[in-house]
């Protein structure tokens, strides 16, 4: 009888130990699975939280165009007329740009040949800060402003401009905004000053932050040539983008520029 009771006890102890071992295995497996799930989720969540969404608001590679894309740009509007008038003192006349397109030179623009003339292509869309404009352009000929980038509100109270001026009296790259000077004035030179060269490709980057303050960078061949910051545009828009050129008071002659691309993204 004693031997039988001992055997029964050993069997019960054996079953209990087996059950305990199974529970331990289940708990360890559950903890391991939970740890794995946590490890697989956390990096993904962290990665997502670090992403900055970017939207392309306007993009045009002019080297791929055979003519002006009229779904994106116009050369005839009341805004262009008003902008031209405000771009010089005395008021300038808006002239329709002469445009040609090629895979080598992109959009070749000319138009102004006399004092107080302005031309350009205007975006159909408007852009509200924050946004970034990137344009690639080359001056080919001129006596005044072979190329100028205008960002301006419909009523012209908000603006920032970037100008390539080859007139000896104002030779250099300039930018203006309401806290710097009036729309028609040269504005402020870049730091360090940039000497414009014909047939040199420039990349112009204009960043307008959520407070309507702009920073401009000009580079060529991957090298930053100069920057300007603290340009207070007078608001957050909406802004039209105009790729243009003009003559103020300078030797009358054709102005020429090749525009390779233009892009607007946010933020």
For the entire predicted model, the pTM comes to: 0.81
Asked whether residue 224 falls in the same domain as residue 142, the answer is yes
Asked whether residue 124 falls in the same domain as residue 236, the answer is yes
pLDDT band at 52 (very low <50, low <70, confident <90, very high): low
Asked whether residue 23 falls in the same domain as residue 115, the answer is no
State the Cα–Cα distance between residues 135 and 31, nearest whole angstrom. Answer: 55
So what's the pLDDT on residue 32?
Answer: 39
So what's the pLDDT on residue 54?
Answer: 87
Residue 50 in this model has a pLDDT that exceeds 90: no
Residue 15 in this model has a pLDDT that exceeds 70: no
pLDDT band at 267 (very low <50, low <70, confident <90, very high): confident
Domain boundary among 12, 34, 51: 51
State the Cα–Cα distance between residues 176 and 45, nearest whole angstrom. Answer: 43
Asked whether residue 77 falls in the same domain as residue 139, the answer is yes
State the Cα–Cα distance between residues 207 and 220, nearest whole angstrom. Answer: 18
Asked whether residue 91 falls in the same domain as residue 200, the answer is yes
Question: Quick check: helix, strand or coil at residue 217?
Answer: strand
So what's the pLDDT on residue 13?
Answer: 38
Residue 147 in this model has a pLDDT that exceeds 70: yes
Q: What is the mean pLDDT of residues 18-37?
A: 38
Domain boundary among 34, 51, 68: 51
Residue 22 in this model has a pLDDT that exceeds 70: no
- More confident of the two residues 135 and 39: 135
pLDDT band at 129 (very low <50, low <70, confident <90, very high): very high
Asked whether residue 45 falls in the same domain as residue 60, the answer is no
Q: How deeply is 223 buried, as exposed, middle or buried, from its count of CB atoms within 10 A (0-12, 13-18, 19+)? A: exposed
Asked whether residue 40 falls in the same domain as residue 74, the answer is no
- CATH number for position 238: 2.60.120.200
State the Cα–Cα distance between residues 87 and 81, nearest whole angstrom. Answer: 10
Q: Cα-flanking dihedrals φ and ψ of residue 132, to 5°?
A: -130, 135
- Beta-bridge partner residues of 107: 101, 259
Closest CA relative to residue 126, chosen from 205, 212, 204, 236: 236
Q: For 51-60, 169-178, 189-198, which range has the lowest pLDDT when averaged over its residues?
A: 51-60
Asked whether residue 111 falls in the same domain as residue 189, the answer is yes
Asked whether residue 219 falls in the same domain as residue 238, the answer is yes
Asked whether residue 37 falls in the same domain as residue 138, the answer is no
Asked whether residue 81 falls in the same domain as residue 139, the answer is yes
Residue 69 in this model has a pLDDT that exceeds 70: yes
Residue 110 in this model has a pLDDT that exceeds 70: yes
Q: How many domains does the chain have?
A: 2
- More confident of the two residues 31 and 152: 152
Residue 47 in this model has a pLDDT that exceeds 50: no
So what's the pLDDT on residue 53?
Answer: 73
What percent of the chain is predicted at pLDDT more than 90?
79
- When the pLDDT of each residue in the chain is averaged and rounded to a whole number, the result is 86
User: Which range marks the domain in which residue 31 is found?
Assistant: 1-51
- Beta-bridge partner residues of 164: 147, 173
Residue 14 in this model has a pLDDT that exceeds 50: no
Asked whether residue 61 falls in the same domain as residue 16, the answer is no
How many C-beta atoms lie closer than 10 Å to residue 266's C-beta? 15
């Amino acid at each position: 009888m004693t031997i039988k009771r001992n055997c029964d006890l050993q069997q019960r102890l054996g079953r209990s130990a087996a059950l305990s071992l199974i529970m331990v295995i289940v708990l360890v497996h559950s903890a391991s699975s939970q740890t794995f799930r946590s490890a697989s989720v956390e990096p993904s969540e962290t990665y997502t939280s670090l992403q900055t969404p970017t939207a392309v608001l306007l993009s045009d590679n002019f080297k791929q165009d055979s003519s002006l894309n009229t779904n994106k740009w116009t050369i005839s509007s009341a805004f262009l007329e008003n902008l031209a008038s405000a771009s010089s003192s005395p008021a300038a006349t808006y002239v329709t740009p002469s445009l040609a397109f090629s895979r080598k030179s992109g959009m070749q623009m000319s138009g102004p040949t006399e004092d107080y003339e302005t031309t350009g292509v205007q975006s159909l869309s408007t852009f509200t800060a924050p946004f970034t404009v990137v344009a690639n352009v080359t001056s080919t000929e001129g006596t005044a402003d072979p190329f100028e980038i205008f960002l301006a509100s419909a009523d012209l109270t908000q603006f920032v401009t970037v100008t390539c001026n080859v007139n000896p009296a104002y030779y250099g790259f300039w930018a203006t905004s309401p806290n710097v000077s009036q729309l028609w004035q040269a504005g402020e030179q870049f730091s360090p000053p940039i000497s414009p060269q014909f047939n040199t490709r420039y990349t112009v980057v204009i960043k307008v932050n959520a407070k309507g303050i702009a920073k401009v960078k000009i580079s060529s061949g991957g090298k930053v040539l100069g920057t300007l910051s603290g340009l207070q545009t007078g608001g957050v828009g909406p802004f039209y983008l105009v790729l243009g050129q003009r003559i103020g008071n300078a030797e009358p002659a054709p102005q020429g520029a090749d525009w390779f691309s233009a892009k607007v993204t946010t933020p």
